Structure 1
Amino acid sequence: MTEHRPGPAVPAGGLRERKKQRTRDALLRAALLLFLSQGYDKTTVDEITDVVQVSQRTFFRYFANKEEVAFAVQDLVESHFVAALRARPASEGPLTAMRNAVLVAWDTVDEAISDVVPVDLYMRGYQLIESTPALLAVHLRRSTELEERIARLVADREGLDVDADPRPRVAVAAFSGVMRVTGRLWGQGQDTSVAAIRRMTEAYLDQIGPALAADWR
C-alpha cells in the first residue's frame, strides 16, 4: 500500500490573497462583458455583482466605481509600456526608446494581461473607451497624467531636469499625440486586433520625423 504524502501546505494568507484576486478578476471580466453587450452608461454595479454572485459591498472593496473597473486593464497595459520603456538601452534616443517600447509592449500584451482577461476582451474594451464619450473624457485626462510620468522617466534616462529642460515633455507630447491619433483611427476601423493597432502605431510613429521637417514639399 502506497503511503499518501500530502503536498506542502499553502499559507492561509496566500489562499486568501488568491481568492481575493479571483474575485476581483471575475468582477472585472463581468463588468467588461456587460459594458460591451449593453453599454457602459446602462450597466449598473448591481448587474455586475449579480453576475459574479457577490454583494455590492464586495465590489466596492476592489473598485471605487464603474470608471475604475473600466480602466483597470488599461492600467496594466500602461504599466507594461512604462516597464518596457525603463528596459530600453540607454543608447537609444528618447523617441526611438518610446517607439521600441510601445511596439514591444504590443508584442507582449497577451502575456501581460492574460491572467486577468483574454487579450481580445481587452481590445474590445479599449475600443469601447474610444467610442464612449464619458470614458473618452476620462481617458484623455488619464493620458495627460501618463504623459507627465513618461516625461519624467525620459528626463531621468537623459540625465535632465524635466522642469528646467522642455525637451522631455515636448518629445512625449509628440509621441502621445501620435498614440491618441492611432487609438482613435484604430477604434473606428473594422479590424480590432492587436496586430492592426501595432501596424498602425509603427507606421504613424515613423512619420514623426518627416512631419516635423521644415519643408514637406
Structure 2
Amino acid sequence: MTVDAADAPGRRERKKQRTRDALARAALELFTTKGFEATTVDEIAEAVDVSQRTFYRYYPAKEDVAFAVQAISEDHFVEALRARPAHEAPFEAMRNAMLAAWDTIEEAVGEVVPVELHMRTYQVIESTPALLAVRIRRSLETEEKIARILAAREGLDLDTDPRPRIAVAAFGSAMQVADRIWNARGDHSREAIRAIAADCLDQLRPAVAESWRT
C-alpha cells in the first residue's frame, strides 16, 4: 500500500501524458484529413472520448495542439545541437544537428504520432495562413534559443556580437527554402526533406560568397 501511494503522483502524470498525446494524435489525424479550419475542438475531444473542458486543460487553443508534435521535434533538434562536439564550427554544428535530428526523429515523436503523420502535418501548416503566422512566431523564438546556444559554444556575448543571430537567421532561411521545395514535390517523406535541407545548406555559402556568373 505504501508503494502504491508513493507511485500515485507518477501514475497521474502518466495518465495526463497519455491524454495529452491522444489529443495531439487525434487532432493531427483530423487536421490532415479534414483540414485545420474545418476541424472543431469538439471533434478532437470526441475522438478521444473526453470533454471540451478536458481539451482546454491541455491545450489553450486549437493552434496549440497543431504544434504539439512540432514542439517535440524542435526540442529534439535543440538537444542534438547541444550534443555536437565543441570543435565543430557553428554552421557545421547546426547542419550536423539537423541531419542527426532527422535520422532519429522517430525516437522523438514516435510515441506520440507516427512519423508519417508528423510529416503530413508540415503540409497542413504550410497551407493554413493562421498556422503559418504561428509558425513564424515560434521560429523566431526557436532561432533566439539556438543563437544563445551558439554564443555559449563560442564564448561570445550575444548582446554585443551579432554573428550567432546572423548565422541562425541564414540557417533558418535555408530551411524555409527547403520546406518550400519539399512541399512542391511529390515525395513528402522524411528522407526527402532531409536530403533537400542538406542540399540547401550546402548551397548557402556559395550563394552568398561567390559570383554566380563563373
Normalising by structure 2, report the TM-score.
0.95
Deviation track 1:13-36 (CA, whole Å, cap 9, x = no partner) reads 222111111111111111111111
SS at match of 2:14: helix
Normalising by structure 1, report the TM-score.
0.93
Question: Could you tell me which of 126, 129, 133 is aligned with 2:129?
Answer: 133
Q: In structure 2, what is the equivalent of residue 104 of structure 1?
A: 100
Q: How many residues end up aligned between the 2 structures? A: 210
Does residue 1:154 correspond to 2:146, yes or no?
no
Q: In structure 2, what is the equivalent of residue 4 of structure 1?
A: none
Question: Could you tell me which of 50, 55, 58 is aligned with 1:54?
Answer: 50
Question: Could you tell me which of 185, 188, 194 is aligned with 1:189?
Answer: 185
Question: Could you tell me which of 35, 42, 53 is aligned with 1:39?
Answer: 35
User: CA contact under 8 A between 1:131 and 1:187: conserved in structure 2?
Assistant: no
Does residue 1:204 correspond to 2:200, yes or no?
yes
**Structure 1 stretches lacking a partner, 5+ long:** 1-7
2:38 is aligned with what amino acid? K
1:79 is aligned with what amino acid? D
Q: 4+ residue runs of structure 1 moved beyond 3 angstroms?
A: none
How many Å apart are 1:210 and its aligned residue?
0.7
Q: Which entry has the higher C-alpha Rg, 1 or 2?
A: 1
Higher share in helix: 2
How many Å apart are 1:198 and its aligned residue?
0.4
How many Å apart are 1:188 and its aligned residue?
2.2
2:30 is aligned with what amino acid? L
Identity of paired residues, percent? 62
How many Å apart are 1:214 and its aligned residue?
3.9
User: CA contact under 8 A between 1:182 and 1:201: conserved in structure 2?
Assistant: yes
Q: In structure 1, what is the equivalent of residue 9 of structure 2?
A: 13
